[in-house]
């Protein structure tokens, strides 16, 4: 389980370093006029982005490790078998959260449509 946890943490940092380039993001911010309050543009912005990204990645890696190791721990410690592993649980939770967000946005859009219809009717009566 220690090797499994180590691999999860390693690949979390590896993927983040491959996908996200702090220097490129700082250059884009500088190019388009973006700024972090109290931080100079250029190299200092890149250092700030890298520092912040590292802190977020540590928390994310710890979360992923815990979620993926809970089913393994339950199996080894209590001989409880799960149909879904840690990775499957992450996928199910993210799909469920996305579905709930889409339903909520649809409901809010319908409420706004109802408000617009009511306001047009009230304006037409006057």
pLDDT of residue 122: 52
Residue 62, C-beta contacts closer than 8 angstroms, at least 6 positions apart: 9
CA distance 37 to 5: 37
Has this prediction a pTM greater than 0.75?
Answer: no
State the DSSP string of 80-122: ---SS-HHHHHHHHHHHHHHHHHHHHHHHHHHHHHHHHHHHHH
pLDDT tens column, 2-57: 999 999 999 999 999 999 999 999 999 999 988 899 999 989 999 999 999 999 99
CB distance 63 to 72 below 8 Å: no
């Amino acid at each position: 389980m220690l090797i499994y946890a180590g691999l999860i943490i390693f690949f979390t940092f590896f993927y983040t370093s491959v996908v996200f380039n702090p220097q490129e993001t700082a250059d884009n911010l500088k190019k388009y006029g973006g700024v972090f309050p109290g931080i100079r543009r250029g190299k200092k912005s890149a250092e700030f982005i890298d520092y912040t990204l590292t802190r977020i990645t540590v928390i994310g890696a710890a979360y992923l490790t815990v979620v993926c190791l809970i089913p393994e721990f339950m199996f080894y410690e209590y001989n409880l078998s799960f149909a879904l592993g840690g990775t499957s649980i992450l996928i199910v939770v993210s799909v469920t959260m996305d579905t709930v967000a889409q339903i909520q946005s649809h409901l809010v859009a319908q409420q706004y449509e109802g408000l617009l219809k009511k306001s047009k009717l009230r304006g037409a009566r006057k």
